[in-house]
Structure 1
Amino acid sequence: MSVQTPQDDAFELTVAERHAESETVVSLTLRDPAGGALPAWSPGAHIDLLLDDGAVRQYSLCGPPADGTAWRIAVLREPDGRGGSAHVHDKVAPGGTLRVRGPRNHFALAPAERYLFVAGGIGITPLLPMVHEAIARGADWRLLYGGRSRATMAFPDELTALAAHDRQVRIVPQDEQGPLDLAAFLGAPEPGTLVYCCGPAGLLAAARDACAAWPDGALRTESFTPVEAARAGDTAFEVELGRSGLTLQVPADRSILDTVLEAGVSVLYSCAEGTCGTCETDVLAGEPEHRDTVLTDAEREANQTMMICVSRCRGDRLVLDL
């Protein structure tokens, strides 16, 4: 399926700066062409880049949240990706423009007395502004940051400069020190502590295992990769669109999003993989089968919203606010 999206809320920004943050990561600083303020955002937020070929890619904002005139993103070149990162690395230069949409935040920093941040690779990007925010709040914090090698890890000097003492930021290149020791870093659960983790699927799984004894909700994660869900057992179901007055049949081999778009209903969407949250839709009745990586366990249990690009129905019928 194409990942083209409605663009009526997109706007154009100037690429003011470009920096090589590592061998594989470049950062872009985006500003309003007229020099005005940009929409406010909070740590954990991301924006969409709307590329020339109609593709849309999501990137976390990773600059200081207090800077209202600039947005910074960092892009990892992915040789086996879908072409978005190659476009940014090879074709985007200072002085150029990019169409963007957002920001949106499904990985917000909740209030806490103490934060433990765990990043793997490009997963450092949403956590970097969280560190800034933790400092601004006067909260205790520590960061564990792993990557394949020192040369591929972005923002190490910036992170080190934010630390109040040597042990506050631990940078662990795997080729020098081996994999991250999450058990040693996290320790025993402590009241008032939240754990934020972002990185590849293996790191997120290890973090969930390491936090098995922690209170529900203490671990917050964000994934850049979709859930691998079994498709063989998928069945058809009915979707009623509450606002549009349509009742549609969703085939076993099609998504709700596909079906809704084919019926001529305009829906904002982006990644089509359940990772960005753009297509989040209110559920009026029925029980979704959640397959996204955006919602928390508590949000899934509440069944108030769902990502219609990947999630399905546990029964025969859903009613959605579309």
Structure 2
Amino acid sequence: MTGPRLPARLDGSGRPDALLSTLVAVGAAYRRMAEFSGRRRPPVRAVDRRIPLVVDAVRVEADGVLSLRLTRPDGASLPAWRPGAHLDLTLPSGAVRQYSLCGVPEDLSYYRIAVRRIGSASAEVHALGPGARVSVRGPRNAFPFVAAPAYHFVAGGIGITPILPMVRRAAARGADWRLVYTGRDRASMPFLAELATLAPDRVWVRPDTEFGIPASGAELLAGMAPGAAVYCCGPVPMISGVRVDLAGVGAAVHFERFAPPPIVAGEPFRVVLRRSGHTLDVPAGRSALDVIREVLPDVPYSCRQGFCGTCAVLTPEGERVRICVDRGPAVLEL
């Protein structure tokens, strides 16, 4: 007897076994294809997600408040959005600011934002006229409008901007809803005329000048339907009052502030961006997000309040750091 014939080569390609020979040939062909594909693969290019737009119209909505109607230069449709969404608007100076979409989500021929003039950035927006070219990123949504049997909306001043599309959507669905809209005085409160066309019996306009003092949380929640989803946008004291009074009821509140929460008793710290090679010092009064965006302007973010998770960045250990609010030395995968 003779022993089994050993293959001529260790990979088995010398064996007369037809099946194995076929597998070896297929493997060799796959390796050649992979090598060729690797040589011809184009370099990875950064995706520019900015949308160039033109100011189609500007309108005075209240004292110190303008609305801008933004369209594509070629008139094409814009990306879809849902109530609560916002845009990142790049201003002529290069500054980026977030503004809620306050138009009609079903009409994608334009976007509408409304801006109260309260600082240098908003002054840039107010200086834009019809025909001005701008760019935006988004839409993004850190204030999503969820399905519910009933809604109780609370808006303060310019905080009506994300609430207005929600009110329209709730009305279109035939949902049970109520809006409490407060502000300094009627002249300063935008979109009062639009709200009057919806359902005046469901809207309570409550200017401070007509009541002497700002509304309390309990007053803003008066008449709330049982089990209603509460949506609130406006100044921090108003939101705080609503949240405190809702805590006793056990109801949840969806809210959006005008600006990031202030940094109180902050300490300076250092972050290392491992991939890009930057080492950055974050001052006591600034967030890591603000400092990082000076060297990486495309780093994503949305709410700037720590709850949406858009700006969360991994550390080498796998932890997620919310760079808009978390503070302390860290190495980040950026």
Tell me by how many angstroms 1:9 deviates: 1.8
Q: Which runs of 5+ in 2 are unaligned?
A: 1-45
Counterpart in the other structure of 1:46? 86
Of residues 125, 138, 151 in structure 2, which corresponds to 1:88? Answer: 125
Q: Deviations over 1:50-81 (max 9, x none)?
A: 11111111111001111111100001111xx2
Counterpart in the other structure of 2:137? 101
CA distance in 1, matches of 2:227, 2:316: 35
Q: Deviations over 1:114-156 (max 9, x none)?
A: 1100011100000000011112222111000011111111000
Q: Please state which structure has a larger fraction of its residues in helix.
A: 2
Q: How many correspondences in the alignment?
A: 287
Do the aligned residues in 1 keep the contact of 2:280 with 2:292 (CA within 8 Å)?
no
Counterpart in the other structure of 2:35? none
Tell me by how many angstroms 1:34 deviates: 0.9
Aligned pair in 2 of structure 1 residues 188, 129: CA closer, same or farther (>3 Å)?
A: closer
Counterpart in the other structure of 1:228? 262
Q: Deviations over 1:160-217 (max 9, x none)?
A: 1111xx430011111122322542442487553111111111111111122112336x
Do the aligned residues in 1 keep the contact of 2:150 with 2:177 (CA within 8 Å)?
yes
Counterpart in the other structure of 1:3? none
Q: How does 1:1-322 map to 2 (within 5 A)?
A: 8-78=48-118, 81=119, 83-89=120-126, 91-163=127-199, 166-178=200-212, 179-187=214-222, 191-215=226-250, 218-232=252-266, 234=267, 236=269, 241=274, 244=275, 253=284, 255-257=287-289, 267-268=298-299, 274=305, 280-283=311-314, 306=322, 308-313=323-328, 320=332, 322=334
CA distance in 1, matches of 2:174, 2:327: 42
Report the TM-score, using the length of structure 2 for normalisation. Answer: 0.74
Do the aligned residues in 2 keep the contact of 1:56 with 1:271 (CA within 8 Å)?
no
Tell me by how many angstroms 1:13 deviates: 1.0
Letter in 2 for 1:113: P
| Segment drifting more, 222-231 vs 148-157 | 222-231
CA distance in 2, matches of 1:14, 1:54: 16
Q: Deviations over 1:257-297 (max 9, x none)?
A: 467568x666525799658979612446879xxxxxxxxxx
Report the TM-score, using the length of structure 1 for normalisation. Answer: 0.76
Tell me by how many angstroms 1:35 deviates: 1.1
* Pair member with larger Rg: 2
CA distance in 1, matches of 2:271, 2:260: 24
CA distance in 2, matches of 1:153, 1:276: 28
Tell me by how many angstroms 1:96 deviates: 2.2
Do the aligned residues in 1 keep the contact of 2:88 with 2:137 (CA within 8 Å)?
yes
Do the aligned residues in 2 keep the contact of 1:225 with 1:275 (CA within 8 Å)?
no
Aligned pair in 2 of structure 1 residues 267, 17: CA closer, same or farther (>3 Å)?
A: closer
Q: Which runs of 5+ in 1 are unaligned?
A: 1-5, 288-302
Letter in 1 for 2:207: P
Do the aligned residues in 1 keep the contact of 2:57 with 2:70 (CA within 8 Å)?
yes
Letter in 1 for 2:74: A
CA distance in 2, matches of 1:237, 1:52: 31
Greater RCO structure (CA 8 Å; 6+ sep): 1
Counterpart in the other structure of 1:295? none
Q: Secondary structure at the match of 2:215?
A: coil
CA distance in 2, matches of 1:49, 1:7: 18
Q: Deviations over 1:67-100 (max 9, x none)?
A: 111100001111xx2x1211222x2112222221
Do the aligned residues in 1 keep the contact of 2:217 with 2:245 (CA within 8 Å)?
yes
Do the aligned residues in 1 keep the contact of 2:302 with 2:311 (CA within 8 Å)?
no
Q: Deviations over 1:285-310 (max 9, x none)?
A: 879xxxxxxxxxxxxxxx8662x144
CA distance in 2, matches of 1:191, 1:305: 37
RMSD of aligned alpha carbons = 3.4
CA distance in 1, matches of 2:81, 2:303: 23
